[in-house]
Structure 1
Amino acid sequence: MGRYDEAKKRLRGSIAPIITPFTESGSIEFDTLKNLIDWHIESGTHAISVTGTTGEPSSLTVDERVQVMETASKAVNGRVPFVPGTGSTNHEETLYLTKKAEEIGADAALVIVPYYNKPSQHALYKHFKAVADSVEIPIIIYNIPGRTATNLDVKTLAKLNEDCENIIGVKESNKDFEHVNRVLLNCGRGFLLYSGIELLCYPMLAIGGAGHISATANIVPDKVAEIYNAWEEGDVKRAQDLHYDLMPLNDVLFKDTNPAPLKAALGMMGKIEPVLRLPMDVPTQELQDEIREVLKEYVQLPDEVAAK
């Protein structure tokens, strides 16, 4: 058995990318973060992630990212795997955060393709190899070309997988389904492939994916986890039914940039204060009204919210 085989067995299913809750004044609400993590685990979420795209990492200072990771790690307390996002547009910052994740006992680190810089494939290889070489914990690369303006080529990913034993998977927020098929063809069927696109969570399981890291899990963690559970149990119809049942919710949650609609929805549910840090902000009132109407079909809203 390889060194990372046990991690590959555990890091499957719905890895929920938790939002970072803020107070009305914009400071981090750590107690709310702990409560959200408890709710997720009680709802069947298979693993917890923080400070990924949904956690607004670019709106946090480096020290705040470490504080969020430490708080989340303690709240998870080994009940499920913990996979914080440690990537950045800055190489040294990425190294620092990934080492911190290892220090606090994270089960793996989720490392995004650097955004804004638009590095070449050769530079991406050097960046990710340096990150992988700096730690012993597993690394899951996060490819989201719609927000980074750079797509990690399958050949680059395959070379990283070949050269770095601890690069064990990739979160593909990539709408090119041909691309994600070729990930497993070139990296091997044991490579962990996660969907970061809500409408591809079920289809990726069908081609051999390991699970999904879906923002929608913030709203209905039980249903998002159940897609994976149903597939694993061989209940294809149930998995398909959940896939189509969640489509209206998925659609409305991405009518504005994530996590703005998510935070509006969680505010309506009474889970958080719906606050984002500028330059992000809550959706328009028109979209909030639409979110509320869709949300009523999935969760029980407080009477005063549902009546609006």
Structure 2
Amino acid sequence: MRLSEAKEKLRGSIAPIVTPFREDDSIDETALVELIEWHIASGSHAISVTGTTGEPSSLTLEERERVMEIAIKTSRGRVPVVPGTGSTNHQETLYLTKLAQEMGADAALVIVPYYNRPSQHALYQHFKAVADSVDLPIIIYNIPGRTAVNLEAKTLARLREDCPNIIGVKESNKDFEHVNRVLWYCGRDFLLYSGIELLCYPMLAIGGAGYISATANVVPDRVAELYNAWAQGDVKRAQDLHFELMPLNDVLFKDTNPGPVKAALAMMGKIYPKLRLPMDLPSKELQQEICEVLRRYTEVKFPV
């Protein structure tokens, strides 16, 4: 996908799909294909795999490759595919990003390296090397709550200037002042995506390109409709959906993502209720709360 084309197509709800597991801990490839088909039918504007919600740190390198391959082959160009290719390991990030390009991904979502706590200079060098290694559009993923370091707006602006294929950023950043400065320093044509559920609508209001929201796993049609309403100028409908989704957004983040999301999907009969250790499902009490909230939005087939 050319950069100009990517900037037009990579807008709206990019659904970060879970990696479903069987009871024996193996990847449930059939369930993954069915989830992707459901998202396409439900109106998600694009899909992402092996991002935070896809438990990449619980997958082997070979498994990440396989999930990426399934997503790209299943989508068959019907919606863009944006796999997460980032890691705390620089060489692994280079490898996965190059592989995503070879497989035919439409862009790569590259997370700020976690645990290492690199300096801003080191972050610049890391992302520049990744961007220089491919022609693929790159969306940087800034999630300081999980990486323990924030990619500063001025660092991002420098990367945008020096690397034409860095086209946007997913900001899982509750500092809305920082988010505003991203567009101020990087330019309002830079693609800004919300990774915070309660900021999906507010980011659209300041010129955001869309969002990558874990809640889209559960109600992909409504999360996509919020963007559609905004894009069509129906501000009231977008606002209504923003507040309508709040109870679900809240309950899905009472424990670490994707535990509650996977519990909800299991209640809907979409996947087997399984995460890989050290991640786990939420407590029985929280699962009951999730079930009660979920019934307001969709059919619940059975509790976990």
What interval of TM-score do these two structures reach, taking the shorter chain for normalisation? Answer: over 0.9
The structure 1 segments of at least 4 consecutive aligned residues displaced by more than 3 Å after TM superposition are none
Q: Distance in 2 between matches of 1:195 and 1:204?
A: 6
Provide the C-alpha distance between the structure 1 equivalents of 2:295 and 2:208, rounded to a whole number of angstroms.
Answer: 31
Q: Distance in 2 between matches of 1:182 and 1:127?
A: 22
How far apart, CA to CA, are the structure 1 residues paired with 2:36 and 2:64? Answer: 16
TM-superposed deviation, 1:49: 0.3
TM-superposed deviation, 1:240: 0.2
Deviation at 1:164, TM superposition (A): 0.1
CA distance in 2, matches of 1:4, 1:59: 32
1:180-259 matched pairs, under 5 angstroms? 180-259=179-258
- Deviation per residue, 1:24-76 (Å, 9 max, x gap): 01000011100000000000000010000000000001110000000111011
Shift in Å, 1:13: 0.3
Looking at structure 2, the residues matched to 292 and 300 of structure 1 have their Cα atoms a distance apart, in angstroms, of: 10
* Offset of residue 6 of structure 1: 1.4
2:17 is aligned with what amino acid?
A: I
Secondary structure, aligned partner of 1:288? helix
Paired position in structure 1 for 2:112? 113
Superposition RMSD in Å = 0.8
SS in 2 for 1:194: strand
Distance 1:6 1:301 in 2: 39
Give the secondary structure class of the aligned counterpart of 1:178.
Answer: helix
- Aligned equivalents of 2:5 and 2:68: distance in 1? 23
Quick one: distance in 2 between partners of 1:4 and 1:87?
20
Please name the residue that 1:97 is paired with.
96
Offset of 1:301 from its aligned partner? 1.4
The CA deviation at 1:168 is 0.2
Query: 1:189 & 1:14 partners in 2: Cα distance?
Result: 19
Cα distance in 1, alignment partners of residues 3 and 63 from structure 2: 30
Deviation sequence 1:245-293 (CA, Å, 0-9, x none): 0000000000000000000000000000010000000111000000000
The separation in 1 between residues aligned to 2:211 and 2:69, in whole angstroms, is 23
2:8 aligned with 1:9: yes
Aligned to 2:173: 174
Alpha-carbon distance, 1:207 to partner: 0.1
* Matched AA of 1:202: Y
> Residues 40-55 of structure 1 correspond to what in structure 2 (within 5 A)?
40-55=39-54
In structure 2, the partner of 1:123 is: 122
Task: Give the 5 Å matches for 1:127-142.
Answer: 127-142=126-141
Counterparts of 1:227 and 1:89 in 2: how far apart (Å)?
A: 33
What is the correspondence of 1:289-308 to structure 2 with a 5 Å cutoff? 289-302=288-301, 304-305=302-303
> Which residue of structure 2 lines up, in the alignment, with residue 21 of structure 1?
20
Please give the alpha-carbon distance, in whole angstroms, between the structure 1 residues aligned to 2:165 and 2:179: 20
Q: Distance in 2 between matches of 1:218 and 1:4?
A: 27
Q: Percent identity, aligned pairs only?
A: 77
Q: Deviations over 1:118-175 (max 9, x none)?
A: 0000000000000000000100000000000000000000000000000000000000
Aligned length: 303
Q: CA deviation at 1:18?
A: 0.1
Correspondences of 1:151-170 after superposition (within 5 Å): 151-170=150-169
Specify the SS of the correspondent of 1:283: coil
- Give the aligned residue type for 1:115: Y
TM-score (norm 1): 0.97
In structure 1, C-alpha distance between the alignment counterparts of 2:183 and 2:226, rounded to whole Å = 21
Q: Work out whether 1:261 is the aligned partner of 2:257.
A: no
* 1:300 Cα offset (Å): 1.0
> Secondary structure of 1:130's match?
helix
Distance (whole Å) between structure 1 residues aligned to residue 4 and residue 181 of structure 2: 22
- How far apart are 1:215 and its partner, in Å? 0.1
> Could you say which residue in structure 2 is the equivalent of 1:80?
79
